[in-house]
Amino acid sequence: MKIMIGIAHPKQVHFWKNIINNLNDDGHEVKIVAWKKDITLCLLDKFNFEYEVGGINHSGLLRKAYGLLESDFKVLKIAKKFRPDILLGSSPSLAQISKLIGKPHIALSDTEHAVLVQRLLFPFSDVICTPSCFRKKIDSRKHVTFESYLELAYLHPNYFKPDSSVLDDLELSKNEKFIIIRLISWEATHDAYSKGLSLNYLEKAIDSLKNFGNVFITSEAELNKNLVKYKINLSPEKIHSALYYANLYFGEGGTTAVEAALLGTPAVHVEAFITKSGEVKDATQIHGNFDELVNKYGILYTFADPNQALNKALEVVEDINAKKGMGKKMKRLLNEKIDVTAFMTDFIEKYPQKVCKAINKYDKKKNKK
């Protein structure tokens, strides 16, 4: 089978990498179409994947609209030459082009408030796969759920093995404590009604947290002169190993917060969602995965109020047993969640004839579609 996969975000590189390897090993031909977004292309290069560039992830609605048209043209050109049997991913361009060439498209989503992308993606997709905790209503004729999180496609113990050399890269000893802070650019369309840490508050937080360990910042945006000294100097494919060994994650990045928590590192996420009526909500009120990780498994903390977030972060770093306490919680979670890479590989290879069999084999809740 000839399979075309769209990758438009660094997280998607990690999500697809093991699935792509499985598909290649099983004799399928995979074509990757990638977008210039942060370190997406860099990661593909690090993992030795060949790809064609489908476009640039622009900022601003007008530029994004132009970029989508440009991407559709490029993807159509690539698809006509490659002639895929199926198209996959969260890129609207692949979904839209799938209709022009008469081939099925499978989408994935775990971000309920990514409304604009979903409007451009879901109507053109034949199947939409989401975690079972996804809250947004999707056409039941298209919606397939799995009992897990997208991040477990690459952080499940079946695939992820921490690289201890990351400590040498960070010039840290084995027992030296450190904290990772994540800052995002707030340029994504779904971030339009969200806010995180102000510069003044961030500096205040660092002044408090650095008393408990080394502080490293990973940021989508350029850091100012007061913060640049904290910038993490690390090859991008090693960030998950750094999160694994860290004593605390603190910051704005929702994906990074989930990753840290699933790696057994206490994670404090700060992000305020402002509704059109002016109501302020935290991530558990918006995202099903955050709600589960916070309220069901207790491995993640999320706050709309930065003061509450910092207080929790300080509480965590002061507790010498905070990280040890994550082990039992993670054992329960992993026992209740599926191997997403195995599920998706099986789902793709058996689409559409054996879809129901694939779901029943891997979904522990035996969701009926």
- Cα radius of gyration rounded to whole Å, the chain: 20
Q: Which pLDDT belongs to residue 206?
A: 96
Domain boundaries, the chain: 2-148+338-362, 165-334
CA dihedral 144, 130, 363, 127 (to 10 degrees): 30
pLDDT tens-digit series, residues 73-85:
999 999 999 999 9
* Architecture of the domain delimited by 2-148+338-362: 3-Layer(aba) Sandwich (3.40)
pLDDT tens-digit series, residues 220-233: 888 888 899 999 99
> 2-148+338-362 and 165-334 share one CATH topology?
yes
Task: Please name the helix (run of DSSP H) or strand (run of DSSP E) that holds residue 163, with its range, or none.
Answer: none
Identify the pLDDT of residue 276.
76
Does residue 358 carry a pLDDT above 80?
Answer: no
Rounded Cα distance between 59 and 186, Å, is 10
Q: Give the predicted TM-score (pTM) of the model.
A: 0.91
Are 258 and 251 in contact by the 8 Å Cβ rule? The answer is no
Quote the mean pLDDT of the chain: 90
Q: Is 3.40.50.10140 the CATH classification of the domain at 165-334? A: no
The dihedrals phi and psi of 180, each to the nearest 5 degrees, come to -110, 130
pLDDT for 364 equals: 45
* Residue 66 pLDDT > 90: no
77 or 115, which is more confident? Answer: 77
